[in-house]
């Protein structure tokens, strides 16, 4: 991404969220984005996911310019190439762990969605929780389901917004190790927004956001 600006109009004037932000991530590498609350970190992830469009600038992921795609093309691109792990999990309460993980594959029309979901849940150590609903799972188990869902379609880009933020220290360490192990196996590019020094230290690259600007950390 290069020269990205993101602004919002308000009653008191235009608010700049991102100012001339540029970022290059080598394919297959890991990057931590740190910085104070309100500095634009989550907005940056939304831009990288195509869920938000910049006011100006260009976002190039692989050979694909996100600005060239309409909403339908972006949705197709996300379903094929992108995995997102949210801090608050965003699991569907009416679906079991197996249902939550298989859903993205079912939407994509894959006939072996259940088998792939079973394999990924086994990878995150949850074969004993397949038929449990999110409300019946601990925070760490819910996050592992969220990681399985994000990785089940083998995305080339994996984004995480404070993936251990709602977990206690011990559970966070387990989830963090699992996430990096699975990233290594899948050879995806991993970008994590975090306030957690443990997370940042495990990444190959690190940048800091402050006042909507990106700085080398």
CA dist list (Å): 73 to 35, 76, 92:
32, 5, 24
Residue linked to tokens 């975090």: 194
Separation between Cα atoms, residue 50 and residue 32, nearest integer Å: 19
Q: Please state, as a whole number, how many other Cβ atoms lie within 10 Å of the Cβ of residue 23.
A: 17
Mention every residue, 6+ apart, whose C-beta is less than 8 A from residue 10.
none
Count of all residues that appear for the chain in the document = 217
In order of start, what are the domains of the chain with their CATH numbers?
Answer: 25-56+68-216 (3.40.50.300)
Q: What is the pTM of this model?
A: 0.88
- Whether the Cβ atoms of residue 35 and residue 210 lie closer than 8 Å to each other: yes
Cα–Cα nearest to 44, from 5, 82, 74, 15: 5
- Residue ranges of the alpha helices (H) in the chain? 41-49, 71-81, 97-107, 113-123, 139-151, 169-186, 197-201
Separation between Cα atoms, residue 148 and residue 141, nearest integer Å: 11
Question: pLDDT of the chain along its 217 residues, tens only?
Answer: 899 999 988 888 888 899 999 999 999 999 999 999 888 898 999 999 999 999 999 999 988 899 999 999 999 999 889 999 988 889 999 999 999 999 989 988 889 999 999 999 998 889 999 999 999 999 999 999 999 999 898 899 999 998 888 778 888 888 888 889 888 888 899 999 998 888 899 999 999 999 888 988 7
Mention every residue, 6+ apart, whose C-beta is less than 8 A from residue 115.
none
Q: What does residue 60 show for φ and ψ, rounded to 5 degrees?
A: -120, 120
């Amino acid at each position: 991404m290069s020269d990205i600006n993101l602004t919002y109009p308000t009653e008191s004037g235009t608010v700049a969220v991102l100012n001339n932000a540029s970022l290059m991530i080598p394919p297959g590498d890991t990057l931590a984005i740190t910085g104070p609350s309100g500095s634009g970190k989550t907005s940056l992830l939304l831009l990288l996911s195509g869920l938000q469009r910049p006011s100006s600038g260009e976002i190039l992921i692989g050979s694909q310019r996100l600005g060239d795609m309409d909403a339908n093309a972006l949705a197709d691109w996300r379903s094929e190439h992108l995995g997102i792990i949210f801090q608050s999990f965003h699991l569907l309460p009416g679906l079991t762990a197996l249902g939550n993980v298989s859903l993205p594959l079912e939407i994509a029309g894959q006939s072996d969605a259940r088998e792939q979901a079973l394999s990924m849940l086994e990878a995150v150590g949850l074969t004993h929780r397949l038929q449990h609903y999110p409300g019946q799972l601990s925070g760490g188990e819910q996050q592992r389901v969220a990681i399985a869902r994000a990785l089940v379609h083998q995305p080339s880009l994996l984004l995480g917004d404070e993936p251990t933020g709602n977990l206690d220290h011990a559970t966070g360490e387990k989830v963090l190790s699992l996430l990096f192990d699975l990233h290594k196996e899948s050879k995806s590019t991993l970008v994590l927004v975090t306030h957690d020094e443990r997370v940042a230290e495990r990444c190959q690259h690190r940048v800091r956001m402050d006042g909507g600007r990106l700085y080398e950390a």
